[in-house]
Structure 1
Amino acid sequence: MEKRDLIYEGKAKRLFSTDDANLVIAEFKDDLTAFNGAKKDNESGKGALNNKISTELFKMLAKNGVESHFVEMLDDTHMLCKKVDIILIEVIVRNIATGSLSKNLGIPDGKVLPFTLVEFDYKNDALGDPKLNDQHCLILELVKNEAELDQLRAMAREVNSILRPYFHDKGLNLVDFKLEFGRDKDGKIILADEISPDNCRFWDLETGEKMDKDRFRQGLGGLKVAYEEVLNRILG
Structure 2
Amino acid sequence: MLHNAHQAIVIDPGDAHPVLQALDRLGLQLQAILVTHHHADHVGGVEALHLATGASVYGPAREAMPHGTTPVQQGDQIQALGTPFTVLDVPGHTVGHVAYYGAPAQGAPWLFCGDTLFSGGCGRLFEGTPAQMLASLDALAALPDDTQVCCAHEYTLSNLKFARAVEPDNTALLHYQGVCEALRAKQQPTLPSHIGLERNINPFLRTRVAQVAAAAQAHANTPLNPQDAVAVLAALREWKNQF
TM-score of the two chains, using structure 1 as the length reference: 0.24
Q: Which has the higher contact order (CA 8 A, sep 6+)?
A: 1
Identify the structure with the greater strand proportion: 1
TM-score, length of structure 2 as denominator length: 0.23
Higher helix share: 2
